[in-house]
Structure 1
Amino acid sequence: MIDRSVKAALDAAVEAARWAPSVHNTQPWTFSVSEEEIGLRADTGRKLRVGDASGRELLISCGAALFTLRTALRCHGFEPVVRVLPDPDRPSLLATVRPGPATPPDEATRLLGEHIERRRTHRAGFTGLPVPGKLLDRLAAAAADEGARLTPVLAPGAVDVLAALTRAAQAVQAADRRWSLEVIRWARPPGSSRKDGVPADAYPRTAARTEPHFPQRDYSWRHDWGGEEAEGASLGVPALLTTGGDGREEWLACGQALQRVLLSAAAHGVSAAFHTQALEMDLLREFLRHELCSGEHPQMIMRLGVTFDDKGAVRRPLTDLVE
């Protein structure tokens, strides 16, 4: 018979994992729970067929859920034992996680766990409050611990390049009906009861322009959706998350690094806004890799900053997620 403390830890880990970030809040994962093991599976029916044909963003999202599973188990006093891509014959099975040796959580782990449900994606400008340099160093170290590299982009010329590529990609995608329809598929209209996708109040109807301007997705395409204007127009600190390789294992590692960075940032009052448009276009992604990333593969473009935005979040119920 399964130990009650182990069962409680497994249940809590799955509950926590559903709060991981995902592209367009697609939540592209399911979980199987046996007596002493959790299986993390990709829900390929939620993949972006136009914007993410390779499944890269889907696996990054699932990697974020994997780190959340690990963190929740640690918070419940167990060191997780993880197998990544354990069965080549079952490509949708991305990882298995089981509770290992009993290990009391340290203060840093508890702090990450406390922010699993509090963390929010921001979709506008930030306040003018600065992000401390020491915190950026800590976030870079957190990403490195998970096998990725977080690089704050501080040189004005490099920031201009990132912003220009983001604007170019957004303009091309906005002019393509396929891209636009896919984005609004995951945009929730006001009053919607859906438990996935981006709520109408999660982005401003009219966003203040940052300088240089990093455009957001057009979740209100041909609709008058969106919340009140954002609280500020500060750019924050642009940053790149990169990996040495560019396969499924690296994408999962990137997702784990991303969630570790986001939870660490949230614990210090810092949020992230994502701008992955240029990374969804092969030519622009390759340009970034060679010109700004020293040959490493760019997996995420984000801005880090301080916001007092405290909007709610939606997640699918466990009954939809657990097999």
Structure 2
Amino acid sequence: MNTRTTEEITAAVQAAVWAPSVHNTQPWSFVVENEEIALRADSDRRLRVGDAEGREMLISCGAALMNVRLALCALGRQASVRVLPDPDRTALLATVRLGGPTEADEHTRLLYDQIERRRTHRAGFTDVPVPDGLVEELVRQASAEGARLAPVRSEAAVRVLAALTEAAQEVQSQDRLFSLEMIRWAQPPGSARPEGGPAESYPREPQRTRPHFAQRDYAHGHPWGSDTERFTAASTGLVAVLTTPGDTREDWIAAGQALERLLLHACAHGVRAAFHTQALEMVHLREFLRQELLSREYPQMIMRLGFTGDDSAAVRRPITEVLEERRAT
């Protein structure tokens, strides 16, 4: 590969590692060979208890794939993507082969510019509502990747989602295996680990939103968390559910791509997201939501969207830990 191609591939992988992932596990790795980037799932980073099927892992990897696509296009290269190209290699989720030159449109460049700015929020939002026009555009962004973003406008439905989230959180917090898994991905204050949930990224004593959506207990009994003013807002924000018509591995990867596309568009307009996957990690609760609230579509992510002053830093592994380069043969 020439120097320019090497730089483009490096930039694409660098963009990929900024994708959101469950508990910031960053469950991906990349192999580069002959101007092709292979995205692989890192099963050692899968949540063995909370994500036994690997659904959340593949959603996370789908978000990383979205960033690779955006980066290459923004850098002026076409990209040919194959999802799940080899059924005998289950860890291989996608290949991205670099093509000829292209010119990115303004929106692609806008999304690319948000990749390192996007942050996951873990508290309440301000009272400023998300504009209806922006919500409609977020719906279109998800649809472009084969998923559906469903804003939850019914107060009763919001209460149901909040209650199920809190119930699942209570059950998981009493489960020793769930708790041990959370502890693995929780960072104490001052930690230098480039993974997991930093103590500075969530409030020490969060205000309850109405209705209240339970947050993960990363502190697990320790006085961790931040006391900064960015966590004083207490609005629930706009509740939305990302769904897919099917529930295959391909659907999960598509959901991840849709999620990242809509999050980047939201970020460009000052909107951030808080995620709530507790109820989706319990088979019977997820099926209840599918049957009773979501027109039989499969819920892949529950989120709240809103405005916040949160400017917390994010931690990511260096690409030297996730990238393997193979010489052409």
TM superposition score normalised by structure 1? 0.98
Q: Deviations over 1:70-125 (max 9, x none)?
A: 00001101121101011111110100002223111111011101110000000000
Q: Is the 8 A contact 2:27 2:61 kept in 1?
A: yes
CA-to-aligned-CA distance 1:133-162 (integer Å, 9 cap, x gap): 000000000000000000100110110110
User: What residue in structure 1 maps to residue 155 of structure 2?
Assistant: 156
Structure 1: which amino acid aligns with 2:227? E
Deviations 1:261-314 (A, max 9, x none): 110100000000000100000000000001111000000000000011101010
Q: Distance in 2 between the 1:277 and 1:171 partners?
A: 10
The answer to whether the 8 Å contact 2:206/2:232 transfers is no
> 1:280 aligns to what?
281
* 1:123-272 → structure 2 map (5 Å cutoff): 123-228=122-227, 230-272=231-273
- Give the Cα–Cα distance (whole angstroms) in 2 for the partners of residues 224 and 182 of structure 1: 19
Match of 2:59 in 1: 60
Aligned counterpart, 2:323? 322
| Pairwise CA distance, 1:232 | 0.1
How far the C-alpha of 1:319 sits from its partner, in A, is 1.3
Aligned to 1:45: 44
Output one character per residue of 1:11-42: Cα deviation in whole Å (capped at 9) or x when no partner. 11011101000000000000001130100000
Query: Using the alignment, how far apart are the partners of 1:318 and 1:78 within structure 2?
Result: 21
What is the letter of the counterpart of residue 191 of structure 2?
Answer: S
Deviates more, 1:220-229 or 1:61-70: 220-229
Gaps of 5+ in 1: none
Deviations 1:52-84 (A, max 9, x none): 000000000000000000000011011211010
Amino acid at match of 2:319: L
Q: Distance in 2 between matches of 1:51 and 1:244?
A: 23
What is the SS of the residue equivalent to 1:33? strand
Tell which deviates more after alignment, 259-268 or 101-110: 101-110
**Structure 1 residues 281-320: aligned runs within 5 Å:** 281-320=282-321
**d(CA) in 1 for partners of 2:215, 2:278:** 9
Distance 2:200 2:28 in 1: 24
Kept in 1: contact 2:15–2:115 (CA 8 A): yes
Q: Distance in 1 between matches of 2:199 and 2:173?
A: 18
Q: Which letter does structure 1 place at the counterpart of 2:196? A: G
Letter in 1 for 2:268: A
C-alpha displacement at 1:231, in angstroms? 2.6
Cα shift at 1:130: 1.2
- TM-superposed deviation, 1:175: 1.0
8 Å CA contact retained: 2:188, 2:199: yes
Alpha-carbon distance in structure 1 between the residues aligned to 2:183 and 2:304: 23
Q: CA deviation at 1:239?
A: 0.2
Query: How far apart, in 2, do the equivalents of 1:151 and 1:101 lie?
Result: 37
TM-score (structure 2 length as normaliser): 0.96
State the distance in 2 between where 1:262 and 1:231 align: 22
Segment of structure 1 superposing worse, 94-103 or 41-50: 94-103
Percentage of pairs with the same residue? 63
Q: Any idea what SS the aligned residue of 1:10 has?
A: helix
> Letter of the aligned partner of 1:106 in structure 2?
D
SS at match of 1:66: helix
Aligned length: 322
> Residue type matched to 1:263 in 2?
L
User: Is residue 2:80 matched to residue 1:106?
Assistant: no
Query: Using the alignment, how far apart are the partners of 1:124 and 1:98 within structure 2?
Result: 39
Please give the alpha-carbon distance, in whole angstroms, between the structure 2 residues aligned to 1:67 and 1:36. Answer: 18
Partner SS state of residue 171, structure 2: helix
One-letter identity of the residue aligned with 1:248? R
Structure 2 alignment gaps of length 5 or more: 325-329
Q: How far apart are the structure 2 equivalents of 1:79 and 1:159?
A: 41
